[in-house]
Structure 1
Amino acid sequence: MAKVKTQFICSNCDFISARYLGRCPNCGEWGTFVEEKIQPETTNRKARVGIDGKTAKVQAINDVTLEETPRVTTGLKELNRVLGGGVVAGTLVLIGGDPGIGKSTLLLQVSGQLSEHGKVLYVTGEESASQVKLRADRLAVGGQDFFLYPETDMTAVKKQVEEMKPNFLVIDSVQTMQEPDLTSPIGSVAQIREVTADLLQIAKTNNITVFIVGHVTKDGAIAGPKILEHMVDTVLYFEGDRHYKYRILRAVKNRFGATNELGIFEMRDHGLAEVANPSEIFLEERLEGATGSAIVATLEGNRPILAELQALVTPSVFGNAQRTATGLDRNRVSVIMAVLEKRANLLLQNQDAYLKAAGGVKLDEPAIDLAIAVAIASSYQDKESKPSDVFIGEIGLTGEVRSVADLEGRLKEAHKLGFQRAIVPKNNLAGMAVPDGLEVIGVTTIKQALHLALD
């Protein structure tokens, strides 16, 4: 009997090694190598053949005709915006998130809505049909064109797709599916790669929209090979704390829409409900007269959102001052504190600083720098900023306040929520339309901004 040959593949970058390595020499990650049996070479690779028997052919680009493929809109406007306006036929969409965050609930609701536009085949590898039905009844989801199929064998799934010819296919989850021709265990790198390749062929050759649920690792990345995210058309991350009711759907890759788009949902007893105005939610519990608080108009994709940044600055009792940030980049906070100490004469080197983006939102763009600086200075000097002020601007290392993108959209959102004054970069004001009733003050340095905010 021939000896079974194995190889080791990095789950992060797909680098192949003949032996196990603790650190990947290609991407530099530790502990990412997994063992995989080498499959014998086969010559029966099939070309792309659709359900109708048509195969792909070579065409001159000028001869390719663009068929009308309108987007299908779901009943969730937040999801439609994150996808770029709706569901595009023939796309492969990957949704990842922590266990229990609501991935299956979201897709079950969406499947019920999409069944009004065509056949939906919901393949579940983690639950039985009766278990899915229990959850569907709780969510009031159903429909004559909504079909359940509890199966993990991809050969059986492909057979059902050929027989039913659905318009939409949901796989929950890709880590539970298996290719029977492979000897690798379910959930291995080889299995996930081959299953995704099959789903990609189903989507592209038959114009079927495929949704895939993906598990995540303890580090928050999609479990499996990195090529999984490269193969799909759209990657969505479902974020939030299971102990809180709000969920954030974030697009990190989208071939048919803007990346870094954001959708807000609220988890209720009957399922996920979209949040039309997330700015009000992030600001509704703001404490009057509190120090160390500042409001920023941040941009998530094309959507302006107002959020509260909180800072607590206290004298350090240890030799090294602590810097802790939740929902913010800790390195960004350290840089801003260094600028405040050098350019605004605030002695912060012996102060512990704890910063947080209230409401569980994660902010990572240059325009939040000014609000971070105001919150830190407010807590350090024990002076409150005006509750009707909003702060927008990037801070440079020399203490200058630099211009930001889409300031008009941010100001419109602030004005809509009743803010009366905005402190913004002066270079942004040239030729800009200011909303009536909103006082906009341009500043060039961090000193000017702090003087206006706290005096």
Structure 2
Amino acid sequence: MAKKVRPVHTCSECGYVSPKWLGRCPECGEWGTLQESTPAASGGAAAAAVTGQLTPGLTPTSPAVPITKVGAQATRTLPTGIGELDRVLGKGLVPGSVVLMAGEPGVGKSTLLLEVASRGAAQDHTALYVTAEESAGQVRARAERTGALHDSLYLAAESNLDTVFGHVSALKPGLIIVDSVQTMHAAGVEGVAGGVAQSRAVTAALTTLAKSTGIPILLVGHVTKDGNVAGPRVLEHLVDVVLNFEGDKQSSLRMLRGIKNRFGATDEVGCFEQTATGIREVSDPSGLFLSHRGSTPDGSAVTVAMDGVRPILAEVQALTVDPVAKNPRRVVTGLDSNRVPMVLAVLQARAGERTNDKDAYVATVGGMRILETATDLAVALATWSSLHEKPLPPKMVVIGEVGLAGELRPVPGLDRRLAEAARLGYTRAIVPNTKVTATGIKVRKASTLREAISLLAS
């Protein structure tokens, strides 16, 4: 007699499975996300092996071959034509790879991938763009606005996965883009589009299609309110590459970061700018943040931040004024709101600069967000400059972490930061007292914050 299969309850947010219904998921903490489903009955050769029985397996579609016989052609990369995207991917798309690009609504995911499809079509690779969220007319209007029209770029407004497979069989494209994976529906699978079962089945089927045909597939993914990829975590395990496209809606700057990459590093960052004509890659992000900078104003300091392994010059501005209320304010934008008040306290206690009776406004320029401690010295010297109404020397960068005792601590990648500053024409730098091998820039070393301030006058 066949054993009765009991239903289970699966969380639609994280994929947690519970034998009974719960109001709140123990894994992710979300309420009302556990949905009832019936697991498939086990069977076949694998189930028989568990019981100690040996049964004939299925005939392989292709025989196993020695690894030395696998052609190197299967590992070649296909450049997308967008340098910043290729940087994050690791030189380009690998045949048969599946890339999941996630991001908040309106950040520009569809616009960027439409540009990728157009560039692929221009390289004699037939591209198929599957849109399940918008109509064909909407995508056509965007392509016309961004200059992404091409005769080899095919558009299919479909949400049924079987129909998409039919388009693939008819066109035999060299590149497939699916926008988005949470809106696709697989026939024969329980659940609504975007649910745990559907998202898992759609991603698994598209991954199998990519591996069996060698066609690279790019998927658009939604994100939750916490910034994570929507749906079960298994989606990130099924695909080869997971990218996060992020940016502040109040700024035109967009950053593409690698979260997972089976073919390259995950510490590379691609920079883009949202314009009226689409997404424009920014090969020199430092110029984007400093392009407005003319004469050096007081209350301003330039530092070099590291985003992954990429050094980016950024400007930190500070404004100190007499307080309006009884308690002085500390308003921070683009920096660590807990770190900046600490640096201001050290500036007063260790360098003798009165900051406790002033309102202090500290911010980065251009919408850049920096959370690393290497900007401590820039915050301190920009505040000092505002207090004394004296601008810092021109063409100077300041880099260093400030300790509670007022000491300057070294930061990682100092030589790379200084090399980037020298490349952009900066001639002087104040850094912690540590070994430096960078050339092309005059480096002044300081052991304490007070000593760094004294170097400004020398």
**TM-score band w.r.t. shorter chain:** 0.7 to 0.9
Cα distance between partner residues in 2 of 1:230 and 1:78: 24
The percent identity for this pair of structures is 41
In the other structure, the counterpart of 1:205 is: 212
SS in 1 for 2:201: helix
Tell me which of 81, 88, 101 is aligned to 2:87: 81
CA deviation after TM superposition for structure 1 residue 268, in Å: 3.4
CA deviation after TM superposition for structure 1 residue 125, in Å: 0.1
SS in 1 for 2:394: coil
Contact 1:101 1:238 in 2 (8 A): yes
CA deviation after TM superposition for structure 1 residue 56, in Å: 7.1
Cα distance between partner residues in 2 of 1:293 and 1:15: 53
In the other structure, the counterpart of 1:97 is: 103
User: Letter of the aligned partner of 1:450 in structure 2?
Assistant: I
In the other structure, the counterpart of 1:227 is: 234
In the other structure, the counterpart of 1:31 is: 30
**1:175 equivalenced with 2:178 (yes/no):** no
Cα distance between partner residues in 1 of 2:327 and 2:206: 53
Contact 2:419 2:438 in 1 (8 A): no
Q: How does 1:336-347 map to 2 (within 5 A)?
A: 336-347=343-354
In the other structure, the counterpart of 2:22 is: 20
Tell me which of 360, 372, 382 is aligned to 1:375: 382
Cα distance between partner residues in 1 of 2:202 and 2:269: 29
Contact 1:295 1:389 in 2 (8 A): yes
Cα distance between partner residues in 2 of 1:275 and 1:444: 36
In the other structure, the counterpart of 2:119 is: 113
In the other structure, the counterpart of 1:411 is: 418
Greater shift in the superposed pair: 98-107 or 332-341: 332-341
Tell me which of 426, 430, 451 is aligned to 2:433: 426
Contact 1:74 1:113 in 2 (8 A): yes
In the other structure, the counterpart of 2:54 is: none
* Uncovered stretches (5+) of structure 2, i.e. residues with no partner: 47-58
CA deviation after TM superposition for structure 1 residue 358, in Å: 0.9
Cα distance between partner residues in 2 of 1:63 and 1:388: 55
Contact 1:392 1:423 in 2 (8 A): yes
What value does the CA root-mean-square deviation take over the aligned residues? Answer: 3.3
Deviations 1:265-308 (A, max 9, x none): 23334322222322122112236453321101122233222111
CA deviation after TM superposition for structure 1 residue 155, in Å: 2.5
SS in 2 for 1:190: helix
Tell me which of 202, 208, 211 is aligned to 1:195: 202
Q: How does 1:310-329 map to 2 (within 5 A)?
A: 310-314=317-321, 316=323, 322-329=329-336
User: Letter of the aligned partner of 1:127 in structure 2?
Assistant: E
Cα distance between partner residues in 1 of 2:448 and 2:238: 46
SS in 2 for 1:330: coil
**1:11 equivalenced with 2:13 (yes/no):** yes
Cα distance between partner residues in 2 of 1:281 and 1:357: 13
Deviations 1:92-133 (A, max 9, x none): 212222322221111111101112252322111012223322
User: Letter of the aligned partner of 2:36 in structure 1?
Assistant: K
In the other structure, the counterpart of 1:50 is: none
CA deviation after TM superposition for structure 1 residue 322, in Å: 4.3
Cα distance between partner residues in 2 of 1:297 and 1:196: 40
Aligned residues: 441
Tell me which of 401, 415, 429 is aligned to 2:408: 401
Higher CA-based Rg: 2
In the other structure, the counterpart of 1:71 is: 77
User: Letter of the aligned partner of 1:272 in structure 2?
Assistant: I
Cα distance between partner residues in 2 of 1:10 and 1:127: 24
Cα distance between partner residues in 1 of 2:281 and 2:307: 16
Q: How does 1:133-152 map to 2 (within 5 A)?
A: 133-152=140-159
Contact 2:302 2:315 in 1 (8 A): yes
Cα distance between partner residues in 2 of 1:132 and 1:410: 41
In the other structure, the counterpart of 1:453 is: 456
Deviations 1:133-172 (A, max 9, x none): 2322333324443222211112222343345443321110
CA deviation after TM superposition for structure 1 residue 209, in Å: 1.2
Q: 1:322 to 1:250 in 2, by over 3 A?
A: farther
Cα distance between partner residues in 1 of 2:208 and 2:404: 50
Contact 1:192 1:224 in 2 (8 A): yes
Q: 1:43 to 1:15 in 2, by over 3 A?
A: closer
In the other structure, the counterpart of 2:40 is: 41
Q: 1:377 to 1:10 in 2, by over 3 A?
A: farther
Greater shift in the superposed pair: 101-110 or 36-45: 36-45
Cα distance between partner residues in 2 of 1:19 and 1:344: 60
Cα distance between partner residues in 2 of 1:67 and 1:422: 47
User: Letter of the aligned partner of 1:362 in structure 2?
Assistant: R
Cα distance between partner residues in 1 of 2:14 and 2:330: 30
Greater shift in the superposed pair: 11-20 or 144-153: 11-20
**1:392 equivalenced with 2:399 (yes/no):** yes
SS in 1 for 2:456: helix
* Uncovered stretches (5+) of structure 1, i.e. residues with no partner: 48-52
Cα distance between partner residues in 2 of 1:323 and 1:21: 41
Deviations 1:338-393 (A, max 9, x none): 43344334444555443222111222333222222222333344432223210112
**1:291 equivalenced with 2:294 (yes/no):** no
Contact 1:383 1:454 in 2 (8 A): no
In the other structure, the counterpart of 2:49 is: none
CA deviation after TM superposition for structure 1 residue 222, in Å: 2.6
Greater shift in the superposed pair: 262-271 or 344-353: 344-353
Q: 1:420 to 1:90 in 2, by over 3 A?
A: same
Q: 1:338 to 1:255 in 2, by over 3 A?
A: farther
Cα distance between partner residues in 2 of 1:360 and 1:245: 8
Cα distance between partner residues in 2 of 1:340 and 1:233: 47
Contact 2:13 2:33 in 1 (8 A): yes
Deviations 1:31-55 (A, max 9, x none): 36513231341558999xxxxx974
In the other structure, the counterpart of 1:358 is: 365
TM-score, structure 1 normalization: 0.85
